[in-house]
Amino acid sequence: MSNHDEPDLKPTPGARATALLKRPDVARTAVFTIIWTAIFVVLGLVFYPKWMPTIMSTDMKAMERIMVAFTVISAPIAGLVMGIATQAVTNRHKGDTPPPDGPAIRTNGPVVVVWSLVSGIFALVAVVWGIAELNTMANAATTDAKEAIHVQVIGSQWVWSFKYVDQGVESDKLILPIDRPVEFDVTSEDVNHSFWPVQLGVKVDANKLQTTTVHTVPNKLGAIDVKCAELCGLYHAYMETSGEVVTEDNFKNWVTANGGHNA
Ligand SMILES: [Cu+2]
């Protein structure tokens, strides 16, 4: 089955592992893996946050933390895949006859146990982290409920519109005052959409005959992109509008200018 002269089939796993690590191709793969892992960690910690949209709420900050943490956690896995690929590409077999396949890895008990455990732990971390984060967001929404401004968000093929219930203003731009909690009550007039004010770090489905709510507190002045994050038909990709986080005074002026009243 295998014509390697390494003691691949020795019964003790320890001896097999030691012999494996002494093989030059495995050693090279290990070095490539370490280099790629380091590259992915640097990308995750340094460059990735720079490529993310501007952080304009604590929810978006939490989102960045999750993205960076999961990039770093998964770096060794991506590093191993790239390590094996690099070794394979730089050490291609030359000639007509390909070498015979090695023994199938699925028969290797320790390897199967380790990869199942590691994947299981990653999944568990993701679930627990997600639930904790959702819980924090839900608590913040409850605490802020009284002072929050309510914006009714309506999705339809293929535009967004915003009704400021307490101010009596309707707009196709999302204008929000800084440092004031906001509750989005989201619905759809037709198919399923998903309301995504990118820089605020929240996203929620927009469904017909149903109101879904999401809460955040904008904490930075500047422009917001509002997109649809649910494939909703031909012009889904163009279902976007803009918005802005403005000062409290500018928000009041905007409300008055649009025929509303300041509560
Ligand atoms: Cu849509």
Strand pairing of 174-177 and 182-188?
A: unpaired
What's the CA-to-centroid distance between 212 and ligand 1, angstroms?
15
What's the CA-to-centroid distance between 139 and ligand 1, angstroms?
28
The pLDDT tens digits of the residues spanning 30-66 come to 999 999 999 999 999 998 888 889 999 988 998 898 8
List of E strands, the chain: 149-156, 159-164, 169-171, 174-177, 182-188, 193-197, 204-206, 212-216, 222-228, 240-246
**What are the beta bridge partners of residue 174?**
243
The pLDDT tens digits of the residues spanning 184-220 come to 999 999 999 999 999 999 999 999 999 999 999 999 9
For residues 40 and 70, the answer to whether their CB atoms sit within 8 Å is no
> What Rg, from alpha-carbon coordinates, does the chain have?
27
What's the CA-to-centroid distance between 203 and ligand 1, angstroms?
12
What's the CA-to-centroid distance between 236 and ligand 1, angstroms?
5
What's the CA-to-centroid distance between 240 and ligand 1, angstroms?
9
Fold of 146-257: Immunoglobulin-like (2.60.40)
The pLDDT tens digits of the residues spanning 120-175 come to 998 899 899 989 988 988 888 888 878 889 999 999 999 999 999 999 999 999 99
